[in-house]
Amino acid sequence: MALHYVDGFVTPVPTARRDEYLRHAQEVSVMFKEHGALQVVECGANDVPEGKLTSFSLAVQRKSDESVVFSWVAWPSKAVRDEGWAKVMTDPRMQTGSAPPFDGKRLIYGGFEMILNA
């Protein structure tokens, strides 16, 4: 199985806005795939322990009325990812003027080279 490049995300989402977040994620996933992504995955926390030193909740400073979402976008390569992200960010559909249904200041993200895909 070929190794790919992955963007990973962890973000707090207001529980009351979960459906709105999912609609937003579905719309953005279309753009990612149109611009080269292989897969877009969104996962809502349902068994995430609270930590004392580290945890998903602590990392995103989750509030009591929020849930943690863990997401990733798989790309064929970093080069395709870099080109795809540039296209997504300039896509007119991203220029809605409205804020996304989550606090982007507490979004944790990064790009990762796959080192195992079993």
- Phi, psi angle pair for 13, to nearest 5°: -125, 130
Q: What is the pTM of this model?
A: 0.90
Q: Which long-range contacts (CB under 8 A, 24 or more apart) does 97-104 make?
A: 100/21, 100/24, 101/13, 101/14, 101/17, 101/20, 101/21, 101/24, 102/11, 102/12, 102/13, 102/14, 102/17, 102/21, 102/69, 103/11, 103/12, 104/11
Each residue's pLDDT tens digit, 29-84: 999 999 999 999 999 999 999 999 999 999 999 999 999 999 999 999 999 999 99
CA dist 32 to 8, 28, 43, 72, Å? 14, 6, 17, 11
Using alpha carbons only, how large is the chain's radius of gyration in Å?
Answer: 15
Q: Which domain holds residue 44?
A: 9-65+78-93
The verdict on residue 43 lying in a domain is yes
Q: Does residue 28 form part of some domain?
A: yes
Q: What is the pLDDT of residue 2?
A: 64
In a domain, 44, yes or no: yes
Q: Is residue 112 part of a domain?
A: no
CATH of the domain at 88: 3.30.70.100
